[in-house]
Amino acid sequence: MHHRTVLSILITLMFSVMLNAATALDNTFVEIPTLPKFEKPQLKEGESAEAFEQRVRKLHEQRIEDVFEIQKAFRLEVEDRNRRLLRGEERQSPSLVDPYDPLFTAYASESFIVENSPQFETLLERDQKRYKGHNSWLFIVSIEKYQHTDPVLFARRTAEIVKATFQKKLDISERNIVTLYNKNATLKNIDQELRKLLRRVQRNDVVYFYYCGHGLSNKAGEQLILPYDGMPDFLDSKNTLKLERMYNKFLNSRALRTFSFIDASFNGITEGVPIQKGLDKVEMRPRAEGYHKRLNILNSARGQDTANAYLEKGYRLFSYFLAQEVLTKEQNAGALFDSIRTMIREVSYSYGEAYLQEPEFFGYRELMLKSK
């Protein structure tokens, strides 16, 4: 009996070691391959800014083709690894981000950006006025640098100009503004800070919500936004936020109405580039979000469109014209939408078919942005 007991213990230990070894193997991240380096393109002597832009875009599109097979092989290996995980073990993102993408590095370098768009700098000169509007609220989420995916060009500086514009023209007190940028815009923080703000909102108050970052949609077509710490390949509640749920929070608050401005594309494509890497085809079909009489929504792009940067100005395309119109005109929501739609459509058309962008509006056109 003694020998059988010892043998049984040894066999149990052996299987335990084998199981732990297999688990450790499964739970080891796939090694990230090094992508070919990319030489930063330079402006040639006598080359116009327009010609340089066109050349960089072609290099950018060629780069996407050049690294695709590496991204695809990495995805297949990671997906196989993720399938073998035990419950509770950490998944690895199958999207291999290209750090050398010219559109994110060379062309978007600080030296290329027009020096601070004098238009905004002049119009937003700080005066001695203290904004005292206590019945308006502004909640801003803007993510330029993500933990698990491509950056969003100019998102931070764009959000700052939107904040300054809204505060000045809509008379919003600083204490009524919440801003979450980059690392602070985690899924947990967005949820917590929104709850805190809405608890302070009173009857007849107006809330303005602005988001700039990546957007996606799930199989049901529900519109999603990606927090700083979200993985774009896992469209679950641990990695994304459903806009419908956020909108319900606004509707369940005491706010008289909410204006939502979303600078993102819900088909998972930003700057013409899918944020889910290595897929032969990204199939996201976002459905139009329903709206309520107390909720007005202005999205930067239709379901099939991409969301672009306005490279010549150094801002996001949609938000640049949004801020410009709010800053220079007092108009209702419908007129605001009509104005920026025309300008965004024209600019994006000049970038080429892969970059087409046209905003969409859901709500009551006659409503004025500024509360009375």
Lowest mean pLDDT among 14-23, 50-59, 341-350: 14-23
Q: Above 60 in pLDDT, residue 34?
A: yes
Q: Which residue has the tokens 């599109």?
A: 61
| Average pLDDT estimate for 75-89 | 90
Between the alpha carbon of residue 369 and those of residues 15, 325, 333, the distances in Å are 67, 11, 7
Strands 257-263 and 315-316: unpaired
For residues 262 and 214, the answer to whether their CB atoms sit within 8 Å is no
pLDDT of the residue at 139: 98
What does the mean pLDDT of the chain come to?
A: 85
Q: Above 50 in pLDDT, residue 24?
A: no
For residues 311 and 108, the answer to whether their CB atoms sit within 8 Å is yes
Lowest mean pLDDT among 119-128, 243-252, 262-271, 328-337: 119-128
For residues 336 and 321, the answer to whether their CB atoms sit within 8 Å is no
Q: Which residue has the tokens 């796939």?
A: 30
pLDDT of the residue at 128: 46
Lowest mean pLDDT among 170-174, 217-221, 281-285: 281-285
Q: Above 50 in pLDDT, residue 267?
A: yes
118-362 maps to which CATH number? 3.40.50.1460
Q: Which residue has the higher pLDDT, 4 or 324?
A: 324
pLDDT of the residue at 20: 53
pLDDT in tens, 348-361: 998 888 899 999 99
Taking alpha carbons only, the member of 114, 49, 77, 110 closest to residue 310 is: 114
Q: Where are the domains of the chain?
A: 18-111, 118-362
Is the pTM higher than 0.95? no
| Average pLDDT estimate for 183-198 | 97
